[in-house]
Structure 1
Amino acid sequence: MHISRLRIENYRCFDDAVIEFRRGVNVIIGENNSGKSSLMSAIQLIFEGGGAQSLRRYDFYQGIEPSTDPPQISITATLSSGEGEDEPAELGTVATWLSGIEDGDWEAKLTYHFYLPDDQTDEFTKLIDEDPPTRASFWRAVEQVLPRYISRIDAGSPGEKEPGYQRVEPRDLNGFGVDFLDPIRDVEREMFSGRKPKLRTMLETVLDDDPGAKKALEEDAEALVDQLKDRIDLAKLFELAESTGAEDGGTPSIGSRMREADIIKALRLVIEAETGGTLPVTYNGLGYNNLLYISLILASLESQTVENVGPKKAVVFPLLLIEEPEAHLHPALQFKLLDFIQNQITREKGSKQVFATTHSTHITAATGLDAVVSLSEDKEGHITPSYPGRVYSAMTGGDGEESKAYVERFLDATKSTMLFAKGVILVEGISEQILLPTFADTLLDTSLADEHVAVVAVGGRTFKHFLPLFGALLDDKEFGLPRRVACVLDADPKKKSGENSYKKCYPYQVKSDEDRQQSRVVETLNAYASGSPNIKIFPGEMTLEYDLAKANSGSDLLVTPFCTHANQLEALASDGSLGEKLQSKIAGMEEDLSEITDEDERRAARFATAYLECIDGKGGHAQKLNLKMEGDETEFTVPDYIEDAINWVCSPIT
């Protein structure tokens, strides 16, 4: 059994959204205010019985159109059968809630309603004193009648408007166990304090049930208490009571009975220090205590089964909701935490489901694409879900399995930024990744950081594997992430050199129809992007370095220690003089260069050719060039295709 679908209507930032989930672990990502926390609250409203939370005006979707009808909140959870056989206890829990059965698979539905009863709606209408109702009068009326709103949970297929099918009482939901870890959590208090702290509960769970040992322990404890009593002079404490006659009601003493449960209450968690001795666990760092607490929670999921606590107290479907599991954790521990949770949920018997909201790329790297649900605001302002793990099976072309396998291997914590960003620029290598943010910030007065645009290096021939994530080759665009994606890549022209062979060349060496102005990669990406308005391809003329030099042929700013013959390059930039060593570098291209009729074009192409031939180590060169540009106010021209890509990806989807 698992929650396969959640429909949320008129709740917080959701007007009417349907979000689908898979068995096991689900990781919810999205920008701030994209509905992640509201989704978690919606799950709690249903499975914690609904009545525990009193909703307020601002829990209603604020975009509701004003009318004389009072607004309602509705949240429907669809429970679906698991793979293989469901446990009898699971089937027993949902047997009367079924909304459909087909080929042995079943669905059950629970719906939380928050509404104004029918006999109160006339009062709401009277309170709206404007015709037609304005937003101000509508919400003023809502606030006035809000104390009369009621909540209930029903089972089965929802009715058209009003609730009224099978009522579910809070006790009917006892089979669902909800553990919720909010983002600002005091794990020390949760572990050790309160009426039923988690540590004591779990110690009782893992304690061996041995009546003989229990009896012996309590007898030993009673003997210890008797020894302590012998050392206590109670008469000194109760002199006043004796002198005033208060002892007529009985002589005060100290009870000597100590049960096993009392001893467990006295136990404290300590840390054995590597240097020797022990420390209270409260001296631990927040991150490690966070892990200790989550470990207790995970253990409790397994401990509440029928085998452990019996059918009356058993939790047949444990739910773990974690907001920002990365809180206080080192990045490596973030990865290990979610990797452990995913493996444990998969390995253990019985139905369990975990929902985690996160802003951590380390978390998504640990769980993989299939677990990710991305919440985004569309161009109409509605919150919509996307499912990056599903795109590859929905592709209409290409090899979906190959592409998915490649992306899963690729999406480490650094590359996973593309799942979280508002816009993405995919580039070929480290040079573009280093330089494009500086071009945007220093030269184009646009901050990619402020625009939440990620620049991700994916390699020249692998762009195609990533584009389906954003809707390429998909008939159903719902699965793809609604982000603007710009692919900035080299044109890599080639000149025909034989019957079926080509070799790399400079743009000015492309002269016949059989030569290629752009590589086949550009053609492939254009085919992928066709029909996907949020994906656009921006090829250069040759390579980034050549294109930079051609656009700035008179600038010695481009010359770095990673350029051989640096002095001659600077001279070529300043006065056009071609030194002997540079002449030898470009000797094979001079004949083609001389055929360029425009003098300025020829000079720019010659400098760009010499410049590209002299670069020794593109990554180091880009880093040095980036530092020079950040501290230099000399006029510099960004190649048109890069400027166009940056401006386009930073504009909203229309």
Structure 2
Amino acid sequence: MYISSLRIRNYRCFEDTRVGFDSGVTVLIGENNSGKTSLLNALRLIFEGGGARSLEMHDFYRGISPSQEPPSISITATLASAEGEDTPAELGTVATWLSEVGEGEWEAKLTYHYYLPDDQQDAFQEQVGDDPNEEEYWRAVERVLPKYVSRIDAGEPGTEEPGYARVEPRDLNAFGVNSLDAIRNVEREMFSGRKPKLRSMLDTVLREDPEAKEELEREASQLVDDLRERINLEALFELAEETGAEDGGTPDIDGRLREKDFLKALRLVVDAGSGGTLPVTYNGLGYNNLLYISLVLAGLQTETVEEVGPENATVFPMLFIEEPEAHLHPALQFKLLKFIHERVEHESGSQQVFATTHSTHITSATGLDSIVSLSENQDGDITPSYPGRVFRYMEGEDGQGSKAYVERFLDATKSTMLFARGVILVEGISEQILIPTLANACDYSLEDEHVAVAGVGGRTFKHFLPLFGANLEDGTPALDRPVACIVDADPARRQDGGQYENCYPYQIGNQEDDFEYRPQSGVVETLEQYADDNSNIQIFCGEKTLEYDLALANPTNQSLITRECVHREHLRTLANVGEVGEDLRAKISDNTSEALNALDDPDRAAARFATYYLECIEGKGGHAQALNLNLREAGGEEYEVPTYIRNAIAFACQ
């Protein structure tokens, strides 16, 4: 079985939100204050301690309208049958909670209620008055808060009042909740407290060999006897008779050592090779985090029916990890999530892991199906979205092929689009490097606006756009955010039905008898079809390429000329006085030169500089890096950002 959904009403940032889950591992992503931790706490209210936690004022959703009705919180978890056969222990746990039963499938519901009892309603109405404002309403709630009660019901929840199929805390003992908070002290958790994790794990391992346990305790008794013989009891108790202490009985020493007593003496150490061993407290925080998580994962399967009997068994273990990336190197983050996935998939029995993260390395290590994104919509409500589910709804396309492509290329860089408020998709490395600087020149900060720039390649845009609602049957995006696609226009022409060859925009239509023209590439046309009827997505393209368009907008700006440009001095002369040197003239064909000369000034001067500038660039990546430094040094007021780039940045930052 597994938790298939959670409906949260009036709890913290959730007014009424339903979140669906798949079995196995769920990775919750989203901005700060998007509800990730609150969702885990909602699960804890049901499955950890039987809902015994008392809530506080700030746990209520603050958007509740003031009235004479006291606020209440309800959280409903739906348990469902997993693929394959459920164990008898699992079926026995949920047998009396079923809300739906089908052929080989079932659902069970548990609902946590936090409410003011009926016999206390009058007291609240006296406190709140007839027509309370917001301040008066919450002040009245604060006064009656000590009278609130919590309970957990099973079955289909009632629409207004709590149901009557009450679940007692002991009924939830079959659910084991293990939590690793975002701010955690793993050394304390492992070694101290009432139930340190290391000691409990060692104790569990020792249960597997009861004969060895008996032998150890027999040998321990002999050790105690040997120690007792070494002690001079007469010297120890010589004053007992004189003080009268022996009147209550003659003092002596006896003792018994059990396995648990020996466990207290054990210490976890790290083998430092030739340096001997070191206490684990000298280990790095990251490695101790991994040690602790490994102990917890190992313990998920130790309290089974076979190990501890049906009354004490954990039938459905759960692990909640907040920010597993804490203190971990990126490579270890990736490795940890891969390990957790493999562990959960290959272990027998049901178990579920929920993790919250801000790490792109974590999301790149998990499949799209495991990701649930929480974000605030335009109405201010927290809504979930499921990046892995949209591909099944693609129209006339191989959705699974696109999904596989996205998962294959969703590395730590491209994963930033899953976390961002807005996204700018670009074709190549030049745009990735330059767009943030061009945004600053437009008085936007992509960091402050939480906008991600991701390079996806011209022909692969179509695989990523379904995440944002493109080409879906119902048009519902998995990730509801503005997406600006910046694409090269790449005008082209061809003769006699042959292959299209790139040309310059001023060549379009100048020899219609000889050529067939395409003002924009097929990529632009395809993407514009994807963006039709989708307000989230817009396509932006200029005249030819980013470099050409930037030079076209700044034909006299020498900051554009970098060390990666050949004939740099000739380019500077062209920018200064409009003179084309012989070396530059050889860079373009006679046909191109004729088309240039046919233009009127000032269009001719701008197009001439842009053309020779583009022809002189060698190594687009190196040029983009050098150009980025030049533009930053010059400052945004010293150059003009092409209009289509400016519009794309504004759209993504809306």
Q: TM-score range by the shorter chain?
A: over 0.9
Query: Structure 1 stretch 134-143 or stretch 500-509: which is displaced more?
Result: 500-509
The answer on whether the counterparts of 1:497 and 1:503 sit within 8 Å (CA) in structure 2 is: no
Deviation sequence 1:198-236 (CA, Å, 0-9, x none): 111111222264444333322322333333334444566
- 1:554 aligned residue: 556
1:476 and 1:204 map into 2 onto residues whose CA distance is 54
Offset of residue 50 of structure 1 = 4.1
The answer on whether the counterparts of 2:75 and 2:111 sit within 8 Å (CA) in structure 1 is: yes
Aligned-residue RMSD, C-alpha = 1.6
- 1:345 aligned residue: 344
Aligned letter for 1:503? E
Aligned letter for 2:311? K
Q: Does 1:63 align with 2:66?
A: no
Aligned letter for 1:559? I
The answer on whether the counterparts of 2:51 and 2:152 sit within 8 Å (CA) in structure 1 is: no
2:34 and 2:222 map into 1 onto residues whose CA distance is 61
- 1:218 aligned residue: 217
Aligned letter for 2:601? E
1:92 and 1:211 map into 2 onto residues whose CA distance is 29
- 1:90 aligned residue: 90
Query: Structure 1 stretch 403-412 or stretch 44-53: which is displaced more?
Result: 44-53
- 1:16 aligned residue: 16
Matched ranges for 1:93-172 at <5 A = 93-129=93-129, 131-172=130-171
2:99 and 2:128 map into 1 onto residues whose CA distance is 38
Aligned letter for 1:435? L
Picking from 510, 513, 527, the partner of 2:508 is 510
Offset of residue 496 of structure 1 = 2.2
The answer on whether the counterparts of 2:27 and 2:357 sit within 8 Å (CA) in structure 1 is: yes
Q: What is the aligned length?
A: 648
Picking from 568, 571, 574, the partner of 2:573 is 571
Offset of residue 629 of structure 1 = 1.4
- 1:302 aligned residue: 301
Aligned letter for 1:356? A
Aligned letter for 1:649? A
Deviation sequence 1:520-558 (CA, Å, 0-9, x none): 100111111112101111012100111111111111111
The answer on whether the counterparts of 1:49 and 1:153 sit within 8 Å (CA) in structure 2 is: no
1:235 and 1:378 map into 2 onto residues whose CA distance is 81
Query: Structure 1 stretch 322-331 or stretch 259-268: which is displaced more?
Result: 259-268
Offset of residue 571 of structure 1 = 0.4
The answer on whether the counterparts of 1:427 and 1:488 sit within 8 Å (CA) in structure 2 is: yes
- 2:362 aligned residue: 363
Q: 1:451 to 1:103 in 2, by over 3 A?
A: same
- 2:584 aligned residue: 582
Unpaired runs of at least 5, structure 2: none
- 1:638 aligned residue: 641
The answer on whether the counterparts of 2:49 and 2:169 sit within 8 Å (CA) in structure 1 is: yes
Query: Structure 1 stretch 214-223 or stretch 233-242: which is displaced more?
Result: 233-242
Offset of residue 239 of structure 1 = 6.1
1:488 and 1:524 map into 2 onto residues whose CA distance is 13
1:635 and 1:207 map into 2 onto residues whose CA distance is 73
Offset of residue 590 of structure 1 = 0.4
Matched ranges for 1:485-496 at <5 A = 485-496=483-494
Offset of residue 256 of structure 1 = 3.4
2:20 and 2:374 map into 1 onto residues whose CA distance is 11
Q: 1:242 to 1:61 in 2, by over 3 A?
A: same
- 1:447 aligned residue: 445
The answer on whether the counterparts of 2:470 and 2:477 sit within 8 Å (CA) in structure 1 is: no
2:88 and 2:36 map into 1 onto residues whose CA distance is 33
Q: 1:117 to 1:342 in 2, by over 3 A?
A: same
2:18 and 2:214 map into 1 onto residues whose CA distance is 56
1:405 and 1:79 map into 2 onto residues whose CA distance is 29
The answer on whether the counterparts of 1:29 and 1:374 sit within 8 Å (CA) in structure 2 is: yes
Query: Structure 1 stretch 275-284 or stretch 348-357: which is displaced more?
Result: 275-284
1:345 and 1:165 map into 2 onto residues whose CA distance is 35
TM-score by length of 1: 0.96
2:634 and 2:50 map into 1 onto residues whose CA distance is 61
Q: Does 1:648 align with 2:651?
A: yes
- 2:197 aligned residue: 198
Q: 1:257 to 1:13 in 2, by over 3 A?
A: same
Matched ranges for 1:383-462 at <5 A = 383-441=382-440, 443-462=441-460
Q: 1:212 to 1:315 in 2, by over 3 A?
A: closer
- 2:461 aligned residue: 463
The answer on whether the counterparts of 1:373 and 1:388 sit within 8 Å (CA) in structure 2 is: yes
Query: Structure 1 stretch 73-82 or stretch 101-110: which is displaced more?
Result: 101-110
Aligned letter for 2:76? T
Aligned letter for 1:587? S
- 1:532 aligned residue: 534
2:491 and 2:254 map into 1 onto residues whose CA distance is 93
The answer on whether the counterparts of 1:472 and 1:529 sit within 8 Å (CA) in structure 2 is: yes
Q: 1:575 to 1:48 in 2, by over 3 A?
A: same
1:518 and 1:583 map into 2 onto residues whose CA distance is 27
- Secondary structure of 2:22's counterpart equals coil
- 1:473 aligned residue: 471
Aligned letter for 1:161? E
1:505 and 1:207 map into 2 onto residues whose CA distance is 77
Query: Structure 1 stretch 238-247 or stretch 523-532: which is displaced more?
Result: 238-247
The answer on whether the counterparts of 1:426 and 1:487 sit within 8 Å (CA) in structure 2 is: yes
Aligned letter for 1:567? E
The answer on whether the counterparts of 1:529 and 1:537 sit within 8 Å (CA) in structure 2 is: yes
Query: Structure 1 stretch 17-26 or stretch 257-266: which is displaced more?
Result: 257-266
- Secondary structure of 1:332's counterpart equals helix
Deviation sequence 1:31-80 (CA, Å, 0-9, x none): 00000000000000011144431101110000001110111100000111
Q: Does 1:34 align with 2:34?
A: yes
Deviation sequence 1:226-285 (CA, Å, 0-9, x none): 333344445666566554232433344433321222112222111111223211111111
- 1:76 aligned residue: 76
Deviation sequence 1:163-190 (CA, Å, 0-9, x none): 1231100111111111111101111111
Picking from 597, 607, 613, the partner of 1:594 is 597
Aligned letter for 1:81? S
The answer on whether the counterparts of 1:26 and 1:356 sit within 8 Å (CA) in structure 2 is: yes
- Secondary structure of 1:34's counterpart equals coil
Offset of residue 499 of structure 1 = 1.5
Matched ranges for 1:247-286 at <5 A = 247-286=246-285
The answer on whether the counterparts of 1:390 and 1:479 sit within 8 Å (CA) in structure 2 is: no
Offset of residue 493 of structure 1 = 0.6
Identity %: 66
Offset of residue 98 of structure 1 = 0.6
Aligned letter for 2:59? D
Unpaired runs of at least 5, structure 1: none
Offset of residue 468 of structure 1 = 0.5
Deviation sequence 1:573-623 (CA, Å, 0-9, x none): 110110110001123310111121x21101111111101111000000010
Query: Structure 1 stretch 311-320 or stretch 374-383: which is displaced more?
Result: 311-320
Offset of residue 478 of structure 1 = 4.5
Q: 1:172 to 1:430 in 2, by over 3 A?
A: same
The answer on whether the counterparts of 1:180 and 1:322 sit within 8 Å (CA) in structure 2 is: yes
1:29 and 1:527 map into 2 onto residues whose CA distance is 30
Q: 1:342 to 1:209 in 2, by over 3 A?
A: closer
Offset of residue 648 of structure 1 = 1.3
